Structure 1
Amino acid sequence: MYAILDIETTGGKYNEEGITEIAIYRFDGHKVTDQFISLINPEREIQPFVVNLTGINSNMLKNAPKFYEVAKRIVEITEDCIIVAHNSEFDYRILKTEFRRLGFPFKRKTLCTVELSQQLIPNMESYSLGKLTRALGIPVSDRHRANGDALATVKLFKMLLNKDSDKKIIKQAVKVEQKSKLAPNLKEIIEELPSETGVYYIHDADGNIIYIGKSNNIRKRITQHFTNKNSKSKKIQVKVAAVTYEKTGSELVALLKESEEIKTNKPLLNRALKRNLFTQGLYSFIDSNGYINLRIESIKKDKKPITTFTNRKSGISFMNKMVESYDLCTKLCGLEKTESSCFNYGIEDCFGACIKKEIPEAYNKRASVVIEKNSYENKDMILIDRGRDIHEKSVLLIKDGVFRGLGFFDLNHQINNRDILESLITPMQNNRDTQHIIQSYMRRNKHLKIIQL
């Protein structure tokens, strides 16, 4: 659990500042669960430059509560939370100073979104909240007011959580939370999970991730882990202290994140990913008569396939669909062995490429469409799919035929602006696994929107 906050102060000498406004959002990693926003009477003078910056003056604060009147609420809303702020060292110091004046020790763990942004979004021109949010296309209202800046920090932090492939932020949060609790009840864990698509992380009491999985219904899948009697499930049931999750909306995003994060985190109870989840590939060659031939064959180390398949059965099924959709020849597609014409020519479903009746140029034009549609080699494009809520979409970036990564956006200008788009993207590995996942999903899902760049 996180307490994302922003504080406005009077300015002045170090450790003599007072709070003029505070905004705190209690955030569970997915949504805001509580909030506290208030002007504060600092009982001291506000520096003129601060008045010009924030617009907060002494007259506005005459009837505002003093800090001691809101201190209990601040303690409650930040209980068992990690404090998150943009330049958290400043905000945390100011809070501790105010509590110290009341003779009350205030101690919380902190996270700084400036430092996290420098680690997870390198090479930005500036890491000030205003310039960073502008570069990322995050809307900010009431800049230099506590509520506006705190809300912008919530949106920024949500993006940083998504970019944190090592899950360092989540592991730390689980560790903090578990220290303040008794051992969890499995039923309580299940009740807090959504019945939605995403990636889930099973943690031990030290916050370590012991298992990563993906599901179209996270709650249902975790229930299976907690009730099954197989060896892996029993180990999970003994070691589990918490389950965290990331909603993705898109199954494609969940598949890619699961693949990447298992490789990155190497959880104790995940079986090593099989090197060849796909065993068959689509290949092409031009025969001595000038016709493009297509073949489903076992993966070859020295030759790159057009697309890949988990097994031969799915590859042959795909090829049969291509024959039907593009009027291809079963003989030239390796589905039929014959010295003469193919069976489909006899029933007038083939134009006769198998016996050189249809000219190569005409046939090859249709065969080339199959190759083009099922490969993204040398292409610049983005794939747009469902997001985590109704206002959002997920986006995958493919550049020069290489998968670069994925992210989420909720404003059209975020994907129309190439610089903002690349900042939103969480970089990910491009390998055979990701290529297979993407191409397989593209074949299966007609609702996937593809935009050529």
Structure 2
Amino acid sequence: MIFMKLAFVDVETSGSHMRHDRIIEIGILRVENGRLTRTYNQLINPEMPVAPFIQDLTGIDPSELEFAPTFEQVKEEILEILDGVIFVAHNVRFDYGFLRNEFRRYGMGFMTKQLCTVKLSRALFPEYRRHNLDSIIDRFNLRINYRHRAYDDAQIIWKFYDYLIAKFSEIKIEQTIEKVMFRPSLPPTLTEKHIEALPDGPGVYIFYGPEKLPLYIGKSINIRDRVLSHFESDQNSSREFNIKQQLQEIDTITTAGEFGALLTEAKLIKEMQPIYNRRLRLLKTIVVVTKTSDKKGFFVPLIEQVKQIDPDTVDDVLAIFPTKKVAKEYLIRQAQKYGLCQKILALEKATGSCFAYKIEQCNGACVGKENHLAHNIRFIEALSEYKIKQWPFQRPIVITDYDPIDAKKEEYLVDKWCLISQESDELIFDYDIYKILVRYIYKKTNQHNIHQLSRQSDLHRNSYSLIY
């Protein structure tokens, strides 16, 4: 096994985002039966800006790339060099992923076995904490001319591999390589071709059992890797084991990005009710907690079971729960944590003081020793964790997802935490969608994908490629 066809590969890229950034340099050493048979060292015009930190890290100036060939111009030569090899890289997911995406941009498939020298180092030298390339260079006194240049880094990976061949027995190396290249066993109904045919971009996957019974719905930024992870953990999880035993078929829905995948997953789980999804299940009614005031001005929680929440009054909602029992248990915990009077909160029926006051865990609101203003401040603080946030825009917004590899664009119209569908003007508040939107909207890196409509009259579905 140790004298196989190998390609030691390193790529430098315009940035760290695998689907948006591009390769700016590639170095390849093809080794067969221990002998170097071909090399490749090429700057590549990424046709996009290079991040300043990449320029500082690699020393590659954008002017050097201006007249370099594009990946489209060198793709056939690279594919030929990598034909029939095991792809070896340090953190192979990064280099292999970038290269695979480059080929996909031009409608070309690229699949080969991969060997990660990070995993190899960890397996053979478990006593060391760090296994990055700099640590390996220092630890084994390997010489390199230009760190963070593709060809030089690829050379170091080969030198490290040769060092391992010389240090350990052939049996030890073969066993370790087999271990780090291990692929999980597949369900009887699936083959490697089924797995390789799965998309390696963002989207949703659906596991079906006998008679098209929905077993499980999941989402990922890389569908293929996520599906394989189910089969890796089947020995440690009874749920994964049962899914694997019953699995008959896999369907996928690709999206332009993770946001679309999250929304699609939430929607499909509620529509299809797969038997192994515990979260996001369809609830016919939900329980909301709002507040009112008693005669003395103390805030009192109201627990109500409703079928739907009015988007215009959603700001009044302090928390949402699946049942009244869960809501009450939460309120009791918060009352104990913040020293609130459970009698004032109508969580306890008592004559005179509440029980907490008797054990000095209540400040005495129930016996007139604490005024309503101080109690109300703690009430608001206690219930702030799950309070529905105020809609942060004056008008509806458009959220755009874009996948540069497949040139796929998806747009979502949102107003008052509600997705506006293609079929209806009605705003329907969905708590699961709300949580997805909150996480997305308040993340700084997503701000360039969010655009507020200039006027309410701009809200025309036909102007946007809505998919929801």
TM-score normalised by length of structure 1: 0.39
TM-score normalised by length of structure 2: 0.38
